[in-house]
Structure 1
Amino acid sequence: MTVLEAERRTVATRAAELRELTPGRTGNLSVRRGQRLAITPSGVPYDEISPDDVSVVSLGGEQVFGELAPSSESPMHRRIYERFEPGAIVHTHSPWSTTLAVLGEPLPPVHYMIVLAGETVPIAPYATYGTEELADNAVGAMASAESSACLLENHGLVATGEDAAAAIETAVAVESVARAYCQAQSVGTPQQLSEDALEATARKLEEYGPDEGEK
């Protein structure tokens, strides 16, 4: 079998969903198997990516498949995989999440869907995109808040999941809560959920399925 064939196919197929979250060709998506990850190539429009365009790199940074350069944020993806071992990672410049990132504000628990990421979505200090410093900052922020996502100061959002669908779902949930938070702040003081309420939601979501109805 060709190197990470299924993972490259997943990246190529699901990358188009990022158009709803991030402008132009910004952002990136990766899926991991073992010590390698399939990641969107640098600068290619999402709806033009084929499985053969998807780069494969090792956790050590060696490109092992693909003629196109991997995303410039590969260092951040690699570091997050090394530290937390998720199955997939998505990075976006979603407008409401990026609004908070520009303000240097973490996202507090103002809506129960934040539990897909944790009790809060922390802010990682600014660093130039594509650098090891940014990777370190993202990992540090996620670890300190025990969150599966973080805002990148003056940059955007990074979210993780057990697979590509879960990572994208987390990114969508964070963006939705970020929008509600920003809008609520414009008219008043947002009310935050208690730790008990968040824990109850987390337990409820563990049971959530097709037979239970909508969230």
Structure 2
Amino acid sequence: MSGHQDVREQIADACRRLAARGLVIEGAGNVSVRVGDEVVVTATEARFAEMTAEQVVVVDLDGKAVLGDLEPTSELALHLGVYRRFGAAAVVHTHAPMATAVGLVVDELPCVHYYMLKLGGAVRVAPYATWGTPELADHVLTALDGKSAALMANHGAVTHAGSLEAAVERSLLLEWACELYWHAASMGTPRALDEKQQQAVIEAALARMNRKPTGTPEEKS
């Protein structure tokens, strides 16, 4: 029988952290983690600031209830779609104020800082559709193609990653990038990194990862 109590606790903790950072208001948002053929996900309208493990339920990949008495989030189709299409391990959806604001005025958040390459570079804005609908899930999945983050027009933001911690960190990074863009746009037209500049950053990062220490301390002395 499914339990995943430790994962439910981790999700509740992540939700409280997101609330403390101001990325959600009341019960607006949802978080999930995939464990094998099951998805551990927040219940509908559960308040992030007070989230408990009992407010996190378990469903299978078809959305059928496995554990918990509460209804899963109304955005369950979006979460399941991300797992099916991108093989992610965790999904975070917030109504972060700056991300939501930027999504009201642009069709794409430009890559204004090299840290945004952790999100896949520029971040697309998914067209608006009513919350909880298949149309919204389809729009967001399209916006996420090749990316790990997307803005949702007149709604919020979503990130996915290979772990819950990474998905939360990407949500925080996305909000930071949106705030950075807002500050820059208030002074003029923000400069974005072009493809050549972005590729140079990627190559530098790969070189650092592949670089191996040479010689022992004795050999270097």
Provide TM-score, normalisation by structure 2.
0.87
* 8 Å contact kept, 2:90–2:160: yes
Q: Deviations over 1:134-183 (max 9, x none)?
A: 1111111111xx11111111111000111111001111111111111111
| CA separation of 1:5 and 1:97: change in aligned 2, threshold 3 A | same
Q: Which amino acid in structure 2 is aligned with residue 181 of structure 1?
A: Y
Q: Which amino acid in structure 1 is aligned with residue 56 of structure 2?
A: V
Aligned counterpart, 2:99: 97
Aligned counterpart, 2:127: 125
Aligned counterpart, 1:87: 89
Aligned-partner SS, 1:11? helix
| CA separation of 1:188 and 1:199: change in aligned 2, threshold 3 A | same
Aligned counterpart, 1:13: 13
1:203 to partner: Cα distance: 4.8
Once residues 205 and 162 of structure 2 are traced to their aligned partners in structure 1, the CA distance between those partners, rounded to angstroms, is: 15
Aligned counterpart, 1:201: 201
Structure 2's unaligned 5+ residue stretches are: 210-221
* 8 Å contact kept, 2:2–2:66: no
> Whose Rg is larger?
2
* 8 Å contact kept, 1:103–1:154: no
1:205 to partner: Cα distance: 5.2
* 8 Å contact kept, 1:104–1:154: no
Q: Which moved more, 1:74-83 or 1:19-28?
A: 19-28
Q: Deviations over 1:88-107 (max 9, x none)?
A: 01001111110121224211
What RMSD over aligned residues (CA atoms) do the two structures have, in Å? 1.7
Matched, 1:188 2:198: no
Identity of matched residues, %: 36
Q: Deviations over 1:59-85 (max 9, x none)?
A: 111111111111111111011111001
Aligned counterpart, 1:170: 170
Once residues 90 and 112 of structure 1 are traced to their aligned partners in structure 2, the CA distance between those partners, rounded to angstroms, is: 22
* 8 Å contact kept, 1:12–1:50: yes
Once residues 57 and 203 of structure 1 are traced to their aligned partners in structure 2, the CA distance between those partners, rounded to angstroms, is: 40
Q: Which of 65, 68, 75 does residue 66 from structure 1 map onto?
A: 68
1:46 to partner: Cα distance: 2.0
Q: Which amino acid in structure 2 is aligned with residue 129 of structure 1?
A: W
1:2 to partner: Cα distance: 4.3
Q: Which amino acid in structure 2 is aligned with residue 10 of structure 1?
A: Q
Aligned counterpart, 1:33: 35
Q: Which amino acid in structure 2 is aligned with residue 187 of structure 1?
A: M
Structure 1's unaligned 5+ residue stretches are: 209-215
Aligned counterpart, 1:211: none
* 8 Å contact kept, 2:2–2:67: no
Aligned counterpart, 2:148: 148
| CA separation of 1:47 and 1:116: change in aligned 2, threshold 3 A | same
| CA separation of 1:93 and 1:47: change in aligned 2, threshold 3 A | closer
Once residues 203 and 8 of structure 1 are traced to their aligned partners in structure 2, the CA distance between those partners, rounded to angstroms, is: 38
Aligned counterpart, 2:217: none
Q: Which amino acid in structure 2 is aligned with residue 150 of structure 1?
A: A
Aligned counterpart, 2:215: none
Q: Which moved more, 1:103-112 or 1:86-95?
A: 103-112
